[in-house]
Structure 1
Amino acid sequence: MKYAKIRKLDVTNGPGVRTTLFVSGCTHNCEGCFNKEQQDFNYGNEFTKETEDEFIELTKSRQIKGVNILGGEPMQQIMDDTLLNLLRRIKAETNKPIWLWSGYKFEEIISNPKRLELLKEVEVLIDGKFQLDKRDIMLKYRGSANQRVIDVKKSLQQGSIVEIL
């Protein structure tokens, strides 16, 4: 897996101070995408074991309230288990909540076994493709009105979408 960047201290994506990983690669090609260069699966740096260890150490800091996974498209990082292993380590070693942004809808994610595996490690999913005609800068944690902020654990338990905002 390649990644575009890591933000050690992120206050723009999710509540509180968070550590953020922007993965590389996305085939959605949403009009108005703010991370166009990150659509290329070969963009950025290789996510190595050393990078993973550094990310975990950043996340362990007391000031970090959670983790964000954006892209690119995190749910297209299923060619190997790199992202899944990272998410599992975050849970095991820090127990900090994970928020993930995806252009796929919740319903699409749960119908794919590999994507569902990733989703099960996440507390909050912001789902749906960015839609330029529904862009709204007043929305919290999302770029367009069609996107949902979903409580993953409750949604999986209840078998129906539970939105937070």
Structure 2
Amino acid sequence: MRIAGIVQDSIVDGPGLRFTVFLQGCHRSCLGCQNPQTHDPNGGVEIPVSELVAEMRSNPLTDGLTLSGGEPFEQPAEALLLAKAAHESGLNVWCWTGSLFEDLLDKGIPVQQALLRELDVLVDGPFLLKERTLSLPWRGSRNQRVIRVQESLEQGTVVLLES
């Protein structure tokens, strides 16, 4: 898996104590992105998923895994393995993407759809500088949604996480 970095004890990338993985590579290059160093798909470092899993599991206080970026859905097979390992460890899984939930569900390739189905919460939509806000939890611009993935899949409509 090509990553830009990890944070072992994040308190800003979802609720509780998070193991956050910043995946390397994003074709969007949103104006004002807070992680522009993650855009180059050839940047960062290559780390085996097994090493990330071991590090994630090394802290018994970790509440969840956060997949950020870059764009996690540009490395869906690796992100899926990591998400499954997190669930096997009893952790919840949050993911940030510039894509829309509906597009991933309806137009994503099978491994992207599998990753989507493995998530608990998805923060979707591109960062839009003109919609930038610091007042909404878990998102950087007003157009982004915080989606309860499993409930959305069960109900066949987007179910938002109330904060």
Alignment TM-score > 0.5, same fold: yes
Alignment-derived partner of residue 110 in structure 1: 105
Following superposition, the deviation at residue 89 of structure 1 comes to 1.5
* 2:154 is equivalent to residue 157 of structure 1: yes
User: Share of identical aligned residues, percent?
Assistant: 36
TM-score (norm 2): 0.93
Residue aligned with 1:120, SS: helix
Alignment-derived partner of residue 141 in structure 1: 138
Residue identity in the other structure for 1:41: P
Alignment-derived partner of residue 94 in structure 2: 99
TM-score (norm 1): 0.92
Cα distance in 1 for partners of 2:80, 2:53 equals 14
Which runs of 4 or more aligned residues in structure 1 lie more than 3 Å from their structure 2 counterparts after TM superposition?
A: none
Residue aligned with 2:20, SS: strand
Alignment of 1:80-91 (within 5 A): 81-91=77-87
Following superposition, the deviation at residue 114 of structure 1 comes to 2.1
Residue aligned with 2:114, SS: helix
CA-based RMSD of the aligned residues comes to 1.3
Where in structure 2 are there 5+ consecutive unaligned residues? none
Alignment of 1:111-130 (within 5 A): 111=106, 112=108, 113-130=110-127
Alignment of 1:35-114 (within 5 A): 35-58=35-58, 61-78=59-76, 81-92=77-88, 94-111=89-106, 112=108, 113-114=110-111
Following superposition, the deviation at residue 55 of structure 1 comes to 3.0
Cα distance in 1 for partners of 2:79, 2:124 equals 18
Following superposition, the deviation at residue 57 of structure 1 comes to 2.0
Cα distance in 2 for partners of 1:65, 1:160 equals 27
Alignment-derived partner of residue 27 in structure 1: 27
Aligned pair in 2 of structure 1 residues 117, 49: CA closer, same or farther (>3 Å)?
closer
Residue identity in the other structure for 2:144: Q
Cα distance in 2 for partners of 1:135, 1:8 equals 27
Following superposition, the deviation at residue 53 of structure 1 comes to 3.6
Cα distance in 2 for partners of 1:10, 1:16 equals 8
1:56/1:89 contact within 8 Å kept: no
Cα distance in 2 for partners of 1:118, 1:128 equals 16
Cα distance in 2 for partners of 1:153, 1:40 equals 31
